[in-house]
């Protein structure tokens, strides 16, 4: 993940640079066959845009649990009409429920986006003085500040150990 600050002197808009573009486009290459790709981590739609541009017979379903970033992707990919469909859902949930047409390609670009660090206001970065929130799903009941301020020491250490794979969590 890397950020490309666009317009330093004017609107300070950050855009997410999609990683490994050449590799992703060549490994998941439908050539000119009709095919369906599920982009499990749509973000601002960078990878999906590259795929839709390069492969005219490809359809894309894009998943993101964050409604705000998904709106950016929907606007960006609107010119592709019904070749693109956005779904605001956790990707594991999507696959549990999926009963649609055969999927030919699946892309995961795990993590969060430059949007989250620079624009979301949700405390993902130490650079800014923001409330510690860190949710992707803004309808979720718990935010990070509640967790760090109300969980006991053992529970916090378990979280850091299990999810952060930090063996010195205690």
Ligand X SMILES: C[S@@+](CC[C@H](N)C(=O)[O-])C[C@H]1O[C@@H](n2cnc3c(N)ncnc32)[C@H](O)[C@@H]1O
- Residue 66 touches ligand X, criterion: CB under 6 A: yes
118 binds ligand X (CB under 6 A): no
* Cα–Cα distance, 61 to 110 (Å, whole number): 16
Q: How far is the CB of 80 from ligand X (least distance, A)?
A: 15
Q: Which of 84, 105, 113, 123 binds ligand X (CB under 6 A)?
A: 113
Beta carbon of residue 154, minimum distance to ligand X (angstroms, whole number): 26
Smallest separation, CB 34 to ligand X (Å): 23
The tokens for 144 are 């990070």
Distance CA 136, CA 115 (A): 11
**Minimum CB distance to ligand X smaller for 46 or for 123:** 46
Site string for ligand X, 16-55 (x = CB under 6 A): x-x----------------------x-xxxxx--------
DSSP state of 65: S
| Residues paired with residue 4 on neighbouring β-strands, in sequence order | 15
C-alpha span between 151 and 72 (Å, rounded): 34
Q: How far is the CB of 88 from ligand X (least distance, A)?
A: 9
- Residue 163 corresponds to which tokens in the numbers above? 């999810």
Contact 27, 55 (CB under 8 A): no
Beta bridge partners of 61: 38, 85
Of 3 and 169, CB closest to ligand X: 3
Which CB, 3 or 41, lies closer to ligand X?
Answer: 41
Instruction: Report the Cα–Cα distance between both ends of the chain, in Å, rounded.
Output: 30
Q: Which spans of this chain sit near ligand X (rule: CB under 6 A)?
A: 1, 16, 18, 41, 43-47, 63-66, 69, 90-91, 109, 111-113, 136
């Amino acid at each position: 993940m890397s950020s490309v600050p666009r317009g330093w002197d004017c609107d300070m808009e950050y855009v997410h640079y999609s990683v490994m573009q050449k590799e992703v486009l060549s490994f998941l290459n439908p050539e000119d066959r009709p095919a369906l790709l599920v982009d499990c981590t749509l973000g601002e739609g960078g990878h999906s845009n590259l795929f839709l541009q390069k492969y005219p017979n490809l359809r894309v379903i894009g998943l993101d649990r964050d409604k705000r970033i998904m709106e950016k992707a929907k606007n960006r990919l609107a010119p592709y009409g019904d070749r693109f469909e956005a779904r605001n859902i956790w990707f594991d949930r999507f696959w549990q429920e999926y009963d649609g047409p055969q999927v030919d390609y699946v892309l995961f670009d795990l993590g969060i986006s430059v949007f989250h660090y620079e624009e979301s206001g949700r405390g993902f970065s130490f650079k800014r003085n923001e409330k510690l929130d860190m949710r992707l799903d803004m309808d979720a009941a718990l935010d990070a500040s509640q967790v760090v301020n109300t969980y006991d020491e053992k529970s916090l250490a378990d979280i850091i150990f299990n999810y952060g794979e930090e063996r010195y969590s205690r």
